Amino acid sequence: METHEDCIFCKIVAGDIPSAKVYEDEDVYAFLDISQVTKGHTLVIPKNHTKNIYETDDALAAKLFARVPKIANALKESFQPTGINILNNNEEAAGQSVFHLHIHLIPRYDETDGFKPNWITHEDKYDLADMSSTISTNL
Ligand code: AMP
Ligand code: ZN
């Protein structure tokens, strides 16, 4: 197991810090977020330490996301949310506060349930063809 000293989520995986576990297998651990945005707010993490999406290889990403539908369906069955948002924050600028990759599963209930993405669009501001070719050259 690749662990990182002083990483709170590595300590949770190792059982050194308590957590409300919802799922575990060889590669993945899932537990309730200590600060529940909505009822059932869950974090899904790889057991092997990786800082965030930039430092994650294909195989680990595949294993991690492969478990998300199962856990999302368990949340749906448990609490009957009317939807679910899946969120992953990378780097401080994007709201990452724990630097061990994690996926937030945020069950949704209604407009006032505590989670409201601020989604403002800028249709005319960007040249899509130009951007897509730039991105392609960096893949
Ligand atoms: P992020 O801001 O995307 O890095 O999310 C980190 C999340 O980890 C926050 O929602 C915290 O509430 C959660 N968190 C931090 N420490 C613990 C802990 N010991 N047990 C469960 N969740 C935690
Ligand atoms: Zn870690």
Mean pLDDT of 80-108: 98
Q: Is the pTM of this model over 0.95?
A: yes
Q: Closest Cα to residue 84, out of 66, 102, 103? A: 103
Q: Give the pLDDT of residue 88.
A: 98
Residue 4 a catalytic site member: no
What residue segments make up the domains of the chain, in order of their start? 8-136
Mean pLDDT of 17-37: 98
pLDDT at 64 > cutoff 90: yes
Ligand 1 atom at shortest distance from the alpha carbon of 12:
19
Q: Pick the residue whose CA is nearest to atom 12 on ligand 1.
A: 35
Phi and psi (nearest 5°) for 82?
-95, -5
* Residue 105 exposed, middle or buried by CB count within 10 Å (0-12, 13-18, 19+): buried
String of DSSP letters for 32-47 = E-SS-SSTT-EEEEES
First to last CA, the chain: 29
**Which ligand is nearest to the Cα of residue 42, counting in written order?**
1
Q: Mention the CATH class of domain 8-136.
A: alpha beta
